[in-house]
Structure 1
């Protein structure tokens, strides 16, 4: 990463919101937290799985990071109901990738909270295997079965939306420019 500088949690959050919604902000801008409950969060739309042009790049990056660090995860949650996405990798392999906007790009098997919620909806297989025109798929897609990325994150690692509140004022936050994907 380049152009590294310190920031506060509030300023970093505001900056990432600007990057996501303002075409003049560099898309490669990310905010990096110090360790929170053993996880270092790197936040920004740069890692957005729902951006189809980035999906393969961020999948490979997450896989590589998991090979180096043991685990790596990506999450996308939209409070405007634009979709949900997560990518969980361990020891260099993708465990699960789900992108509500692109079910055809799913990989791996649902597990944990995703599996339990699917079972609760009566979906024995994977959501990506449902007939998109069927009632069951429509019921699931109407609210993503209440299976939000923040819920998956909380069970798999930490929910970043709750972690910040629990830790109070976080010092040592950084803003940086991530390398552009080729």
Structure 2
């Protein structure tokens, strides 16, 4: 939490966090309209700590550079750090994978024009395997790939983030009653909320 600049944490259950973060993600919170003011920091689950909320989006224009920097710092300290976006209503996927301070891969497939500009690193084995399943070359150049191949990969990649997260660590979508859990999850305020309060001249923001 110190590395991420999070503060004012309070314990919440998984169920409470799911409702809060879902509301934030859909812009439904009056005190957090852009969803960037708070995140849920999970207890340790199967050896990983999950930080969940729109603030963690590795492909959004408002946060992509900062999320890239933070994942690099976290992986330099802890060995590995990843960030994901997944739109469960068919809004696409994005993933950022770092190890020991180095970016191994960043890729976004959300249907936005800026997606290609975010690409860093070589395809992950999970990506290459999925392309081979589709009968596509395991590595590719977006500039020379046919329109048909691009479309097929685009629709496959739209749903890829949860699978990559589960293959490389833990996906919050696959947690069960048997998942090893240690510690207590908290809802925490981000540096974006602190900056907003300072700019407005008062202690505003979600509690």
* RMSD of Structure 2 on Structure 1 (CA): 2.4
Deviations 1:44-71 (A, max 9, x none): 1101123112111111111111111111
Q: Which runs of 5+ in 1 are unaligned?
A: none
Q: Give distance in 2, aligned partners of 1:67 and 1:125.
A: 28
Of the structure 1 ranges 34-43 and 98-107, higher mean CA displacement relative to structure 2 is found in: 98-107
Deviations 1:86-127 (A, max 9, x none): 11100000001111131221111112211101223312424x
Deviations 1:151-170 (A, max 9, x none): 00111011211125543998
Q: 2:133 is matched with which residue: 120, 123, 127?
A: 120
Q: Give distance in 2, aligned partners of 1:52 and 1:90.
A: 23
What SS is found at the alignment partner of 1:41? Answer: strand
TM-score where L is the length of structure 2: 0.78
TM-score where L is the length of structure 1: 0.88
Residue of structure 1 in register with 2:190 after alignment: 178
Write 1 or 2 for the structure with the bigger share of helix: 1
Residue of structure 2 in register with 1:58 after alignment: 67
Q: Which runs of 5+ in 2 are unaligned?
A: 1-5, 196-207
Residue of structure 2 in register with 1:71 after alignment: 80
User: Is 1:42 paired with 2:51?
Assistant: yes
Pair 1:129–1:78, CA change in 2 (3 A): same
Paired residues for 1:138-157 under 5 Å = 138-144=151-157, 148-157=160-169
Q: 1:18 is matched with which residue: 17, 20, 23?
A: 23
Q: Give distance in 2, aligned partners of 1:78 and 1:166.
A: 26
Structure possessing the higher radius of gyration over alpha carbons = 2
Contact in 1 for aligned 2:96/2:106 (Cα 8 Å) = yes
Pair 1:166–1:104, CA change in 2 (3 A): farther
Residue of structure 1 in register with 2:179 after alignment: 167
Number of residue pairs matched by the alignment: 180
Contact in 1 for aligned 2:44/2:181 (Cα 8 Å) = no
Contact in 2 for aligned 1:96/1:106 (Cα 8 Å) = yes
Q: Give distance in 2, aligned partners of 1:124 and 1:172.
A: 41
Pair 1:21–1:131, CA change in 2 (3 A): farther
